Amino acid sequence: MLNTLQTNASYLEQVKRERGDPQAQLEAMQGFLERSGLKVEDLDRLNIIHVTGTKGKGSACAFTECILRSYGLKTGFYSSPHLVQVRERIRINGQPISKDLFNKYFWLVYNRLEETKDPVHASMPAYFRFLTIMAFHVFLQEKVDLAVVEVGIGGTYDCTNIIRAPVVCGVSSLGIDHTSILGDTMEKIAWQKGGIFKPGVPAFTVAQPERPLEVLKERAQERKCPLYLCPELDDFEEGCRALELGLAGAHQRSNAALALQLARTWLQRRGCQGLGELKEVPPSPELVGRPVPLAPAFRLTVPRVPPGLRDTEWLGRTQVLSHGPVTWYLDGAHTTSSIQACVRWFRQAALNQDKPHDGSEVRVLLFNATGDRDTAALLKLLVPCHFDYAVFCPNFTEVSVANNADQQNFNVTLENALTRCLENQRTWTRLLEEKVGQDPLLPSPLPLVLVPPAPRPLNSPALVFPCLAQALRWVAQGRDPQLAAPAASGAHPHPVASSGAVLLREAAAVRVLVTGSLHLVGGALRLLDPALSQ
């Protein structure tokens, strides 16, 4: 029944149609909320932390929730998309709500909306709007102390923006994504993100390019919202040992710094003990002269905060699964800057793994991208990783997904998805033929490679599979205990598939980067870690 309310792709189409009148969208959302039995004022009781951004907003939310949970507070956390099960979107104390609770609140909200239909209000809310309303019901009735709410897309027009009085707001790193809805420049996107600012409610952002930061400042002034720039995590570590983060990758440090400010401000405004005492820290040189005042760093004097950062889990982001000789590196990066960060992380993480004695290591890219993303630009950034094989497949776990309602998408046909994969295959082959040898990675404070990698030929045959299960089985060749061996019958027709199968079976180590789409990563996780489906 939930899936009949449409999934993400058609919701995006609906937003595109309605975006000329954002007020009408929010009024429609308010109407659905009231038909479900809640008023907008009821949401004020949730003590909300509202977070937007292009990259890292989910990770920043996860860090924030984990820090505040370490204080013994009962936390709610609403995020999207889900990776394996839809229940992941609505969490209490860090855990997806149970099937029983999901069932209870789904029918409570669905039936109320069904009963209140009339000629004027004949419709049901779309998938994301419905789950947002349902999350508010869950958090209110289960009496959470606070709710961390991640924006779906943008900010101004997003249905979470019916929240009137959050305790604090956050904006993670900005980038180019969802251009058909949010605009095709960083400034337009910054304008959208700044739409969550509320009068008198403090907001924090991480270091941003100059013009988008100016736009955020203008939006904050319009909305009479005090906006601050987060200091870097290094400033919190001054005079004490480095903070250990539960999420890998240098790019997670800015998400953790944002989380520290959000958590501290929430505790202060709710009259709770803070995270630590303020200290005067000279700001990092690159933050001097920015148009937004710098929030003060503070000495972390509360012993439970570092474990909160260390214990944060956020599946499908810089995640490593070691399954015998096959190591899976999963990251849902899907914008150019997040793919750059993913490549830095993968090269560093793969380098830190023990090298096989005989040197026989095979590297595989498993990639898909959805929506209006420029896949050629994303794939170009992945070429310097020197993969031995590139594998493309749709986000479907099986060719038939009838038995897996959590991952059904009625808006993408197998034919359309495979056409996209074949285009990606041609793009990859063309990029290799052009011998794109230069390294496109952004400067990094850490050396990307501590020892020079063994030279690899720039030759990476590309294969397309009709579903994730077949792609993963071919890569693993029966060497991952979670995956069956590939079927002998109906073998892949491409001649590289059989020669590659021999190399994959004989290699001492197989390293697989799965990236380009959170939905792809979610499907892979479902197959690689069956416990997540329980």
What tokens appear for 344 in the block?
């830095």
As a whole number of angstroms, the distance between CA 358 and CA 490 comes to 33
Contact 531, 85 (CB under 8 A): no
Contact 310, 70 (CB under 8 A): no
pLDDT of residue 457: 45
pLDDT of residue 373: 85
Contact 8, 411 (CB under 8 A): yes
Contact 296, 281 (CB under 8 A): yes
pLDDT in tens, the chain (534 residues): 898 886 555 555 655 665 557 678 888 999 999 999 999 999 999 999 999 999 999 999 999 999 999 989 999 999 999 999 999 999 999 999 999 999 999 999 999 999 998 877 768 898 999 999 999 999 999 999 999 999 998 889 899 999 999 999 999 999 876 655 666 688 999 999 999 999 999 999 999 999 999 999 999 999 999 999 999 898 887 667 788 999 998 899 999 999 999 999 999 998 886 665 545 555 555 555 567 888 987 777 667 677 889 999 999 999 999 999 999 999 999 999 999 999 999 999 987 777 777 768 999 999 999 888 899 999 999 999 999 999 999 999 987 655 566 766 655 678 888 999 999 999 999 999 886 444 444 333 333 333 334 444 456 799 999 999 999 999 999 999 999 888 776 567 778 888 899 999 999 999 999 999 999 999 999 999 988 887
Dihedral sign computed on CA atoms, order 201, 207, 209, 214: positive
Give the annotated binding-site residues for Mg(2+).
Answer: 80, 150, 178
pLDDT of residue 439: 46
pLDDT of residue 323: 96
Give the global pTM.
Answer: 0.87
Please report, for the chain, how many H helices and E strands are present, in that order. Answer: 17, 16
What tokens appear for 506 in the block?
């004989």
Give the annotated binding-site residues for ATP.
Answer: 317, 331
Give the annotated binding-site residues.
Answer: 80, 150, 178, 317, 331
